[in-house]
A and B are shown apart, each in its own frame.
Chain A
């Protein structure tokens, strides 16, 4: 379930590549812009995260299928919500693939990690006391398998039947195991820290509103 050598999926023309990039970038900005405009500082933090995780992915490329982005997408989704999680996933995929290798598979990787981020936002991984590590571990293991399956869909170019696809998935099981082990390590080592990093501080007007509201109730 990994991007195999010698199997690239459909070849994209330069125009198609441009359309794909514009589509992905447009969707990322649309996700960031809706439903309301975000403060500049908020966006800067997210972009810093995008750059850091992209760099981490590029640096860790020599380790086969150890994917820091999966856990990052899961936790960004859990902490910042589905929209920003998906935007984060799309941007990280685009930027890191610019260095690692761009192509048809970028679409599937972006979709895979974006769906992981959406799942992260729905799984109640973050509680008022912090990250639920046990739940996050299980979610990251499932996310590894899910992501690998989604990315594997990129080889379906009409020449591979259902059995061939099944064989392809089976061949990749050792790599899936490594992805799961890597996710496990990322969650137990960095999960709580990363979640804390993403914790949103209430804005001044929100604090003022809360204080006034509280006094109002007291009065």
Chain B
């Protein structure tokens, strides 16, 4: 009897989440069908596409031709505006502005684009021509954060400060110095602007441009602060983890704090629910008088967080060969994750775009593969006819059920030998599925414990100061070293190396093996392969599973 009860309990516990996952996956794929793709050939889509003036605008960067491209809703190319001087990854999201009139004059419907070479441009969405343009300061990088519009003015976080510009002609009203920032979006209230920086300082800037440090933390603030009922919320990134702070709006006093995982994403707020993410989990906080953690789901995402019309979360996984997540929740609680296979497999930080034409809802996905995937929902009668069948997922589920069921049956029947056999296969299957995530987490833990034993790679005095505090890649060739710095936001060695290779315009051959990505040649030099060192320590895992800090020196040497 006890044996039967144990078997029943185990089966129930194991099958519940699977049943939930199956049902929810079917619901999204039945409701949405692929409409068209658009391949931009190179570069990354790092920010959410924008729907404006009946066009889909997509920002691509990290290539030789950083651009904003307009496509029709049918996927036809319309226009492209490029800025070849913006050589780093453009992380500042496109900002739509409705036509209006203010103290400086009138302006048409516009799209504002901040570039990493410090240029801020207002484009006509109809044809991509420049309406006005201003140059902001550049210290290695220029603009990387999100701007915000308020009463005829646009506020943009620049590399070292915050500027207020007239919407009608782009004229600078004031600019105030804060701290060196990256992905440092600005948040506006009726009385002040808030922006964070790379030294962990949260700045409050009043309407005249007067700035003062509201609070200071150990780490980096790489998002626009959130204004909740419970206070100002910032997610501060440290080297190995992060902390969410809730602060008093006026005094900056820390009211609450929560520990979270490494490399935070850009948090979002909807009513009183705050959604945060990092390399380990997605967190839902309910912030009323105080903030309380409502749900937490394991997931790896470090960029934008999308909220669809139903208030559900759609978020890209920033890992190789990964899917997206669709998370349904009730005011932050009872969050259930559904994996979305949208046909994009790889790193991604851009939230999706949603728009509606007539009765058809469109969802647009883009990621680091520089491919845009557009889905549209099907009318209800067509949903019934949809017979898409994901053989790989279903096969896996079938095998799991079969092994699980067989194990339980053999256990109940006292067939110990057969129970052991089926359980052993189930164990191998589960371990194989968990291996990528477990390896990465375990590797991070080991690195944390043994961090002090690693020999820090010596900083080269010939390198520019703007590389300080960024990610640097060094390639060791027979004729000498080639180094590039100022790279940011990369979570693993492969992603960082790919970025460096693109900047140098080198070729790189990556072979996928059972234990990860293997670099067999760089810039045509093959030899016996290449090996890497992270901050002086020899790499012991594959490049795509070796996590890196925000300030890292990766050195590649041919074997």
Contacts and interface: CB of A to CB of B under 8 A. Distances in A.
Contact of B541 (A5, A66, A185): A5
Interface string A166-177: 011011111101
Interface string B410-423: 00000001001100
B450 interface: yes
A4 B540 contact: yes
Contacts of A11: 527-528, 559
Contacts of B417: 188
A164 B540 CA distance: 10
Contacts of A8: 528-529, 531, 559
Interface stretch (B98-106, B286-294, B511-519): B511-519
Contact of A181 (B421, B428, B516): B428
Given A8-B531, A164-B538, A188-B421, A175 B515 contact: yes
Contacts of B514: 61-64
A163 B514 CA distance: 27
Contact of B450 (A5, A6, A163): A163
Contacts of A184: 424, 427
A122 to B, nearest CB: 25
Interface string A151-192: 000000001100110011011111101100110110011000
A214 interface: no
B515 A65 contact: yes
A177 B529 contact: no
B89 to A, nearest CB: 24
A99 to B, nearest CB: 13
Contacts of B513: 5
A2 B515 CA distance: 9
Contacts of A167: 446, 450, 453, 537, 540
Interface in B178-197: none
B530 interface: yes
Contact of A7 (B432, B438, B540): B540
B518 A5 contact: yes
Interface of B is mostly: mixed
Contacts of B442: 171, 173-174
A84 B532 CA distance: 40
B538 A64 contact: no
Contact of B539 (A3, A4, A173, A189): A4
B539 A6 contact: yes
Contacts of A174: 435, 438-439, 442
Contacts of B427: 181, 184-185
A164 B432 CA distance: 27
B432 A63 contact: yes
A118 B420 CA distance: 27
Contacts of A7: 531, 538-540
A160 B428 contact: no
23 contacts: A3-B515, A5-B515, A5-B516, A5-B518, A6-B518, A6-B532, A6-B538, A6-B539, A8-B531, A62-B514, A63-B432, A65-B515, A167-B446, A172-B540, A174-B435, A175-B435, A184-B424, A184-B427, A185-B427, A185-B428, A188-B417, A188-B421, A188-B424
**The 7 nearest A-B residue pairs measured at CB:** A5-B542, A6-B531, A185-B424, A64-B514, A6-B539, A5-B518, A171-B540
Interface of B: 417, 420-421, 424-425, 427-428, 431-432, 435, 438-439, 442-443, 446, 450, 453, 513-519, 527-532, 537-543, 559
Given A65-B515, A170-B450, 13 more contacts: A4-B542, A5-B541, A5-B542, A6-B538, A11-B528, A64-B432, A64-B435, A103-B528, A163-B450, A171-B442, A178-B432, A185-B427, A188-B424
